[in-house]
Structure 1
Amino acid sequence: MTNTDTTGARPAREREQVVIIGTGFSGLGMAIALKRAGMHDFVILEKADEVGGTWRENTYPGCACDIMSLLYSYSFEPKADWSRMFPRQEELLDYIKGVVDKYGLRRHIRFNVEVTGTEYDDATDSWQIATATGEMIGARVLVSAMGPLHRPSIPDLPGMETFAGRTFHSAEWDHDYDLTGKRVAVIGTGASAIQFVPRIAERVASLTLFQRTPPWIIPKPDRRVTEVEKNLFRNVPGVQRAYRNGIYLMQESFVLGFKNPRLLKAASGLAQWHLHRQVKDPALRRKLTPDYTMGCKRTLVSSDYYPALTRPNVDLVTDGVKEIRENSIVRGDGTEIEVDAIIFGTGFHVTDAFENAHIVGRHGVKIQDAWKDGIQAHLGVSVAGFPNLFLLLGPNSGLGHNSMIFIIEAQVRYVMQCLRLLAAGDATRISVRPTVQDRFNAWVQRKSEGAVWVAGGCTSWYLDRNGKNRAAWPASTVNYWLRTRRLRRSDFELATVRDPVGADL
């Protein structure tokens, strides 16, 4: 959502019962739940010309998921013929398109419609949604399914505007630019960089990788799914579900180490063994050895990243960027490196993702004012003072150890309970009570005290500029499932206004 205030006082030209923003896993999951419940009066607004969210946007070389395919998919829509244990971007996007077609969602999607602002209308208990084309859409209920990883973060480096070469972020890969034989600088060593660096290192003349903090990396046990396994998944009831549950439990076990880092000793030992096995140069190995507790940042999985860094045409730089010049980068130590292109693998805006969003709730309160002390929402879904608005993958619902699809499905079920409560009470407005939101977020911060991402000795995207955890779910996913399994009626305020449109959800 862009920072363009185009809502004003103009009335919406059309009215929908539910408007969903985004066609990634969360938005489509919400749409499927509505259709299953017999609620067909909804529209999905998508800024691009195709579905897919993250898996449409990220097309960089080597792009893949670091959660196994059997778990990184809807529980109600298993796929028996995954080609690999870890799905690649192309296959995930095909899976998403297949789900869209199976559930007849395309007729609900309006492509190339970018939302520029949303305002709540107190007089009608509805949302007024402005788009980049100047169109106004009304909605009884608004579901934001834009996800936390959709705004690329590019550092403000001195002299960047003077660079004459090509620059782009990994999430906006320039496929028209041929990297073959080029002198390339990569800034950032996060989850995307460790996937594309091995792919481009093979064809560039030189690659200079600027690393601020080395990540913990464990081997990626990727392989092809065998035909025997595919046949079992197709023909033997329960086998694929058992595989999925086993992967889930394995991933979930890592949460125990977030509050007890000693329990991650085996995992950190595996990471250290992996580094020593693949990097023989002691000096390079020292640069790649983390000096913070495992789990403080997202633990990455790769079996080809370290070997790429040992190539003779690859140089790892750890003293930062001092300045960008027309055809070069000046390192922190003053050394000048000539480059033809700069690629940013610097992640996304997460805790500050809503700083420029135009979202206005009841009585004209802007989301930035409501969140002046930090972003927060009840269970990551409902925001006090913003009725009939539901966030999917909102504050404190991110994971560093398990599949986000699990969280998405739990949140969608919770939103559906809210909608049923809204309809059953013949109400036009539902809003979480401020005291409930405050109590929940106090619990989040208490639960985060001493956790590895707060006390692990690093700076991560889980924390805001004040060091508060605003992104990560601080407990197990089982805990989240239990909290969202059954809505508490007393947590919400319901009200009705006289409105000729009604509230016939």
Structure 2
Amino acid sequence: MADGSPKKSTASSRSKARSGTDLDLVDIEHRVPSRRKGKPDYEVIIVGAGFAGMGAAIELQKNGIDSFVLLERAKDVGGTWRDNRYPGIAVDISSFVYSFSFEQNPNWSRVFAPGDELQRYAQRVAAKYGIYPKTRFGVDVLKSVFDEDLHLWQVHLKDGSMLTSRFIISASGGLIAPKKPDIQGLDTFKGRVIHTGYWDDHYDFTGKRVAVIGTGATAVQMVPELARKVSQLDVYQRTPIWVLKKPDAEIPGWMKSTFRAMPLAQRAVRFVADALTESLMVGAVLYNRQIPGLVRWAESGGKNNLLEQIPNDPELREKLTPKYGFGCKRPTFSNEYFKTYTRDNVELVTDPIECITEDGVRTRDGKERKIDVLITATGYKVFEKGNLPSFEVHGRGGLELGQFWEDQRYQAYEGTTIPNFPNYFGMLGPYALTGSSYFKMVENHSVHAVRCIKQAHKTGSTCVEIRQGPHERYFTDIQRRQQRTVFVNHSCSGSNSYYFDRHGDAPMLRPSTSVEAQWRAKHSPMSHYHFTRAEALASTEA
């Protein structure tokens, strides 16, 4: 692991509201305000219309800030849940927790809802809160450049046009850039190659010989579904995954009716589910040094799940047992994944891959397995340059955010703001994600950003920038807290986890409880920020 001290920077359509999945979207017509010197097209530009972007937009509206636009590269809202459609996709956090606190859904079909229900939920939220008319679909952001004289962000689009805004909220998400496996011969394969992030809904797998590369959380959901259709399924495992029993069940009609009639009942269920999730994810992973027994308990649960599903094959169980600590790599839940490897048409391959041939996959032991389809379940780029953020962000002195993080380690005050990048708020930033739900991070960062924007309005400021001192103290505290997590204390070196970046840091999860994160979002001192007004605006306002 790298040391815990922070490093300073050297430059220190019109749309139809949707009630289901089969309503067509048409292009939105936008009338951008006339551009005057110092007057932005929008007060706020939000990049991305997944749950993070929608959460930010809703918080802006709630606080009377209506001059904003969402820029979305795809043709609908939903982000990850719009793009991922592989067989078996579902949430791996309870549905009761995985939703906006202010817009809970009483109609989930299961405790762990399938992916299409999450997408429909996104569409309903977008329709109810007026997100569709505020969104420009099919728009790709190339880069954003901060104008230091006018305190504006110039947002350059890939079609050659440009928009300006006072503030940017980057909500482009973390799981948007599928990672292609670096395997010799991949481009020579004559069959079909499908990445789980670019699923082909129309391809018929019935009777096909299929290889899956990767055994992360996606494969855990997908492999049992594929095994029922294909003639042969070869699953290539580099690193096994911790899999706990899935406390899933169909939600009965009477419970849904109760939730609709008595929202307080659903909030109570959410509270209990949240507390259980927080205890496991935060207690075991982030407080590993203080509560080591909780990790051992989780590992015992994973091994028991494996034993129950594969009682008669100790050699197979050994191959599927992780050699790293629980929490080093994203764990998941399944009651079917392990037992799938006992089927006659499924083989777990742990020999390293030598190359992809024209007809199949050859491992280093010299064996070649013929296939018709190659599925790469190899995950996404996460904390890597070019992904977070997904577009270039040039702050003061031309300093580029992705390069700054690449050189100086991933760091951001409260996971959202960075010195030398004024008026910029990241939704999924370093050490931002709280353990129990992505939605908590979204709501917290939305509140934090809007507090800053409102304070700027109140003081007549055009520039909001986190001070270097509070930022450095915060990052130092984060690194101190990391020393008690599973990432430092529990043999993570062999996990091949996307939690870790090139610096050896684990900037995905925030080392704190979600209660603390929420309190700080609402109460962190505004005195930690510089609030200034552009001198260049004085002459235009005289």
Fold match by TM threshold 0.5: yes
Residue of structure 2 equivalent to 1:4: none
Structure 2 letter corresponding to 1:421: Q
After superposing on structure 2, the runs of 4+ consecutive aligned residues of structure 1 that deviate more than 3 Å are 11-14, 353-357, 498-504
Residue of structure 2 equivalent to 1:334: 366
How far off its partner does 1:178 sit?
Answer: 2.0
Of 157, 176, 185 in structure 2, the residue corresponding to residue 131 of structure 1 is 157
| 2:417 aligned with 1:386 | no
Choose 306-315 or 24-33, whichever is displaced more.
306-315
**TM-score, normalised with respect to structure 1:** 0.94
Contact 2:38–2:152 (8 Å) recurs in 1? no
Contact 2:154–2:165 (8 Å) recurs in 1? yes
Indicate how the Cα distance of structure 1 residues 159 and 425 shifts in structure 2: closer, same or farther if over 3 A, else same: same
Structure 2 letter corresponding to 1:134: G
Contact 2:394–2:401 (8 Å) recurs in 1? yes
Distance in 1 (CA, whole Å) between partners of 2:535 and 2:127 is 38
How far off its partner does 1:370 sit?
Answer: 2.1
| 2:513 aligned with 1:476 | yes
Structure 1 letter corresponding to 2:284: G
How far off its partner does 1:502 sit?
Answer: 11
Residue of structure 1 equivalent to 2:476: 442
Distance in 2 (CA, whole Å) between partners of 1:230 and 1:328 is 48
How far off its partner does 1:14 sit?
Answer: 6.8
Q: The residue matched to 2:41 in structure 1 has which SS?
A: strand
Distance in 1 (CA, whole Å) between partners of 2:539 and 2:436 is 41
Of 406, 410, 423 in structure 2, the residue corresponding to residue 375 of structure 1 is 410
Identity within the alignment, %: 37
Contact 1:47–1:113 (8 Å) recurs in 2? yes
Of 464, 470, 491 in structure 1, the residue corresponding to residue 528 of structure 2 is 491
How far off its partner does 1:475 sit?
Answer: 2.1
Q: The residue matched to 2:55 in structure 1 has which SS?
A: helix
Of 410, 434, 437 in structure 1, the residue corresponding to residue 444 of structure 2 is 410
Of 420, 425, 429 in structure 1, the residue corresponding to residue 463 of structure 2 is 429
Residue of structure 2 equivalent to 1:211: 237
Q: The residue matched to 2:211 in structure 1 has which SS?
A: strand
Structure 2 letter corresponding to 1:225: I
Structure 1 letter corresponding to 2:297: A
Alignment of 1:13-412 (within 5 A): 15-254=41-280, 255-258=282-285, 259=288, 260-279=291-310, 280-354=312-386, 357-371=391-405, 372-399=407-434, 401-412=435-446
Distance in 1 (CA, whole Å) between partners of 2:467 and 2:197 is 37
Structure 2 letter corresponding to 1:389: Y
Contact 1:220–1:302 (8 Å) recurs in 2? yes
Give unmatched runs, 5+ long, in structure 1.
1-10
Q: The residue matched to 1:128 in structure 2 has which SS?
A: strand
Distance in 2 (CA, whole Å) between partners of 1:408 and 1:333 is 47
Contact 1:261–1:293 (8 Å) recurs in 2? no
Distance in 1 (CA, whole Å) between partners of 2:538 and 2:215 is 52
Contact 2:73–2:139 (8 Å) recurs in 1? yes
Structure 2 letter corresponding to 1:263: L
Indicate how the Cα distance of structure 1 residues 405 and 50 shifts in structure 2: closer, same or farther if over 3 A, else same: same
**TM-score, normalised with respect to structure 2:** 0.87
Choose 449-458 or 468-477, whichever is displaced more.
449-458
Distance in 1 (CA, whole Å) between partners of 2:122 and 2:100 is 10
Indicate how the Cα distance of structure 1 residues 107 and 499 shifts in structure 2: closer, same or farther if over 3 A, else same: farther
Contact 1:210–1:318 (8 Å) recurs in 2? yes
Indicate how the Cα distance of structure 1 residues 486 and 503 shifts in structure 2: closer, same or farther if over 3 A, else same: farther
How far off its partner does 1:193 sit?
Answer: 0.8
How far off its partner does 1:235 sit?
Answer: 2.0
Contact 1:12–1:136 (8 Å) recurs in 2? no
Residue of structure 1 equivalent to 2:32: none
Distance in 1 (CA, whole Å) between partners of 2:109 and 2:427 is 29
How far off its partner does 1:266 sit?
Answer: 2.6
How far off its partner does 1:257 sit?
Answer: 1.8
Q: The residue matched to 2:142 in structure 1 has which SS?
A: strand
Contact 1:158–1:323 (8 Å) recurs in 2? yes
Choose 296-305 or 455-464, whichever is displaced more.
455-464
Choose 35-44 or 432-441, whichever is displaced more.
432-441
Give a deviation string over 1:439-481, Cα, whole Å, max 9, x none. 2112112111242123322332111123112222122212212
Of 502, 505, 513 in structure 2, the residue corresponding to residue 465 of structure 1 is 502
How far off its partner does 1:208 sit?
Answer: 0.9
